[in-house]
Amino acid sequence: MSSTRIHKVAVIPGDGIGIEVTAAAIEALKTVQAKVGGFELVFTEYNYGSRLYKETGSYTPKDWLDTLSRHDAIFFGAVGDPDVPDHISLWQLILPMRYMLDFFQYVNVRPSIVFEGIDPPTRCATPAGGELDWVMLRENTEGEYAGQGGRSHVGHPHEVATEVAIFSRIGIERFLRFAFETAQNRPRKLLTVVTKSNAQRYGLVLWDEVAAEVAKDFPDVDAMTVRMVSKPQTLDVIAATNLHADILSDLAAALSGSIGIAPSSNLDPTRKAPSLFEPVHGAAFDIMGKDLANPVAAIWSASEMLRWLGEDRAADLVYEAMKSSLRAGKKTRDLGGTLSTTEATKAICDLIQEIEVQ
Ligand code: NAI
Ligand code: MG
């Protein structure tokens, strides 16, 4: 008996190049769906973003989280506008989504790989004889981005502001369990937990303690805690707090060639809420509207979404097509190529149609 598997996907293109790369990702998804068959992605687009904010004073309409929660997955482009302070767009749109429904999207997954065909900016990060191949895992709901803090004596010379990081045992443990499982499923089975527990002696010491406890359940995973990332070739899966991993994953993206290829998944491992897939990059004001954005980060994110939805064959096809395309030198300008967004997307979609996996 064959029946079509339906996946309801909320699409939020957002702002700037988010709109351009989301269109590219949807094209790749439609191409692979037509080729593989057996499943149907039902897309519903939402206009949340800076334009709506300028018109209505809010990035989103009422009940938007309820609306989103009725989907199986969310695909998101990017948000940001030159006329709107970044903390407003971030706190009105991105962070509420990550914390939606009792903050279930507690892991942010950010893989970085030096693909064939890409010249990374520096060779020092590439292990001898191998290539940079990391999965950065970012705790996605607490730490430094939990929103605790305040300002007093505003406008006065003695004005003060606090930005408080919070860490809970439950929050750390559920995240680190996911990290150990991720490491366990990779050939090298190596997990590095990045903390700064020498200087930050409460929250990050709790991290170290919970890591040591969870490690006991994963005897086959080689776990270590580092205070400073100094030997990239020794890294495989890296787990860190919200802020640390935010910074480290941007660096990892740059080391792998360009932020334009870095994907990310905001996962709810309990699967109670839809998970959200998005390129790591932002709205990129300097290149928006020019057909210059690299679509790879969005297309790779789309592949990760397919995998999360259980469509492994389609996920593999999109991923392999993307890799082959880069290997063949079909690159946008950020990677030293000459292709436009439209051309790079077409190259990948053509390969999705041509190649076979397995
Ligand atoms: P950005 O990621 O938008 O751009 C940084 C640099 O990387 C720019 O030079 C841009 O041209 C380049 N770049 C980014 N994506 C690219 C792609 N796909 N292809 C080629 N080049 C690419 O970061 P920036 O400039 O700090 O932020 C711009 C706006 O985006 C701000 O409003 C910021 O708050 C927002 N932002 C939103 C994010 C999100 O929606 N998740 C993440 C990061 C920034
Ligand atoms: Mg993004």
pLDDT in tens, 235-290: 889 999 999 999 888 888 888 889 999 999 999 999 989 999 999 999 999 999 99
Exposed / middle / buried, residue 355 (Cβ in 10 Å: 0-12, 13-18, 19+): middle
Q: Which of 149-153, 244-248, 276-280, 352-356 has the lowest mean pLDDT?
A: 244-248
Asked, for residue 116, whether it belongs to a domain, the answer is no
For 131-163, b/e burial (b = at least 16 CB within 10 A) is ebbbbbbbbbbbbbbbeeeeeeeeeeeeeeeee
Do 29 and 85 have their domain in common?
Answer: yes
Q: Which residue's structure tokens are 């890294």? A: 235
Do 228 and 280 have their domain in common?
Answer: no
Do 195 and 238 have their domain in common?
Answer: yes
Asked, for residue 196, whether it belongs to a domain, the answer is yes
Closest ligand 1 atom to residue 80 Cα is 32
> Domain end: 255, 274, 291, which one?
255
Do 221 and 286 have their domain in common?
Answer: no
Tokens of 274: 């839809």
Distance in angstroms (rounded) separating the CA atoms of residues 305 and 7: 11
Asked, for residue 114, whether it belongs to a domain, the answer is no
Do 246 and 325 have their domain in common?
Answer: no
Distance in angstroms (rounded) separating the CA atoms of residues 208 and 226: 10
CB-CB contact of 232 with 251 (8 Å): no
Give the residue, out of 90, 259, 341, with the most ligand 1 atoms within 8 A of its beta carbon, to mutate for a pocket test.
259
- Section 307-333 average pLDDT: 97
Do 198 and 290 have their domain in common?
Answer: no
Do 227 and 302 have their domain in common?
Answer: no
> Domain end: 255, 270, 305, which one?
255
Asked, for residue 203, whether it belongs to a domain, the answer is yes
Do 242 and 128 have their domain in common?
Answer: yes
Asked, for residue 113, whether it belongs to a domain, the answer is no
> Domain end: 220, 255, 290, which one?
255
Asked, for residue 115, whether it belongs to a domain, the answer is no
Q: Which ligand is nearest to the CA of 258?
A: 1
CATH number at residue 162: 3.40.718.10
* Cα 76 to ligand 2 centroid, rounded to whole Å: 7
Distance in angstroms (rounded) separating the CA atoms of residues 62 and 43: 20
Which range, 59-63, 65-69, 186-190, 287-291, has the best average confidence (pLDDT)?
A: 287-291
Q: Which residues line ligand 1 (CB under 6 A)?
A: 17, 21, 78-80, 86, 94, 259-260, 278, 281-287, 293-294, 297, 334
Position 230 pLDDT exceeds 70: no
- The total number of structural domains in the chain stands at 2
Do 216 and 161 have their domain in common?
Answer: yes
Distance in angstroms (rounded) separating the CA atoms of residues 318 and 25: 10
Asked, for residue 314, whether it belongs to a domain, the answer is yes
Do 51 and 128 have their domain in common?
Answer: no
Residue 36's domain spans which residues? Answer: 1-108+262-358
Do 196 and 90 have their domain in common?
Answer: no
Do 267 and 250 have their domain in common?
Answer: no
Asked, for residue 170, whether it belongs to a domain, the answer is yes
* Cα 201 to ligand 2 centroid, rounded to whole Å: 32
